[in-house]
Every structure is written in C-alpha cells, then in structure tokens.
Amino acid sequence: MPADLLSVPFSFLRMFSDVVFPPVCHSCNASLPRGGSIACPACLAAIVPVDEWDTAYREAFARLNEERTVSDFVAAWYFEREGPLRLLMHRLKYGGMSTIGLEFGRVLGERIREAGLAESDMIVPLPLHATRIRERGFNQCEYIARGVSAVTGSPVRADLLRRTRFTPSQTTLGHGERRENVRQAFAARRRAPRDVAGRTILLVDDVVTTGATMRSCACALHGAGARAVIACAVAIAR
C-alpha cells in the first residue's frame, strides 16, 4: 500500500469503497442500507428466529441429548429448504464468503449470551475432513466460531477435534443413515485431554438436522474429559 494511504482513516477508506462498490444483499442482491451487513431488511425479516418453546427446537435438543451428550442447546434461526438463509449458507460454504460466517457467529454469540451460557472455557468448531478443506479452502464452522468468540470472548480451539474418515454428504440421508455415516468419524486429538479435561465447551455447527454429527463430536470431547458440551448452531433444519 502507498505510504500516503497509510495515514488515511479506515472509516474513510470503507466509505470510499462503499461508493465505488456499493454493498449488496448476499441473498437477493438488493442494495444494502448504510450500516447493513450481509442481507437486506426484507431478507432478514424472512428468516425465522428459533423459539425455545417450539416443538422443532425441543425435538432437536432431545436428539442431541441422547445419552446426555450435550448439556444445553442454542440455535439462532430455522433453516428452510427455500429462502434467504439457505442462499446465505450456500454462499458461505461454497462461495467462500467468510464474512457471512463471521456475522452468523455474532448473531449466534448474542443468543448464547442471552441464554446465560457465554462463560464457557473455549469454542470448538466442528472439523471438516482434509478432503473437504481442499475442496472449499476453509471450514465454514471456524468462521462462525470466530464470530461467536467476538461476542463471548471465549477462545476458539480448532485444534482439538479431527475427522478420522471421509464420509459422504449427509444431505440425502435419513436419520438412521446419518447416525451410521458419522459413527466414530470424529476423534479428539492427542493434545485434547490436557486442554479439555474439566472444561465447558461451546461446540459450533452451521445447521443441525438430525444432530448425528454434533452428537458424535460431543462424545469425542467427553471422551477427552470435557465437563460439559453445549451444542450451538446457526440454524435448525425443519
């Protein structure tokens, strides 16, 4: 960067950038109002927030908590097959738009704080297999975890879990098939017992469907000595 630009306030550069490249909604491509982040007001209004008294939430929590694998569950929105959230999630996972993950994480972090669960020891994103990392270039759950960390202040630890084998996409699988697909697919890394023992962990995923993947990861953390695992997701699939 030229030396004279170093003295220009960041806020001015951001304003100049917004004039030259006006920010648009990542869902519908409409122009964003000043101060907008990833989606326009109309698209945000179409995303339904999770109600903890709703049957869908309680059923999701019950699936996650089979064999007492998680102590609590926090989710921000409901994931619909059609709609703005699906488009935003697709652009995050396959379009490399990491800013969407960070913003998702901040929203989720606020929900975690409202639930009184922000005083955790660490935040662990669900790991991807190395093959998926090579395909996408990043793990979207890590960006979501960073957004959560920006709100709660807990450190992100992406080095504690690993995916031990490559598994087919869960998208087209039923409940039982998903459970079998991820059975023993995750393990704690060698350093994990030293750092995890007796700790409370926020385990972060993007979308919870049957909960099989998150439950498998929670079991691996408990095996390493975690005191409690709190499941956290941007959305619940209905």
Strand partners, 161: 188
Distance CA 75, CA 193 (A): 27
Q: What pLDDT score was predicted for residue 13?
A: 36
Q: Where are the alpha helices (DSSP H) in 96-139?
A: 98-114, 130-136
Write down the pLDDT at residue 8: 40
Q: Which two tokens stand for residue 7?
A: 């003295």
What CA–CA distance (Å, rounded) separates 163 from 216? 10
pLDDT score for 238:
80
Q: How far is CA 190 from the centre of its chain?
A: 24
pLDDT of residue 198: 97
pLDDT along the chain (238 residues), means of 10: 42 41 82 80 93 93 90 96 92 91 97 96 93 85 97 97 69 49 73 94 95 92 96 95
- Beta-bridge partner residues of 199: none
Write the CATH number of the domain with boundaries 48-237: 3.40.50.2020
Element (H, E) at 217: helix 212-223
* Phi and psi, residue 207, nearest 5°: -130, 130
* In the block, residue with structure tokens 């969407």: 100
CA distances from 88 to 2, 26, 174, 235 (A): 35, 6, 24, 12
The pLDDT of residue 76: 97
Distance between start and end Cα atoms, the chain: 48
Instruction: State how far the Cα of 148 lies from the Cα of 155, in Å rounded to an integer.
Output: 9
Residue 31, amino acid: S
Domain boundaries, the chain: 1-46, 48-237
90-217-51 Cα angle (round to 5): 60
Structure token digits, residue 202: 């926020």
What is the pTM (predicted TM-score) of this model?
0.83
Q: What is the pLDDT of residue 9?
A: 46
Give the model's pLDDT for residue 14.
Answer: 43
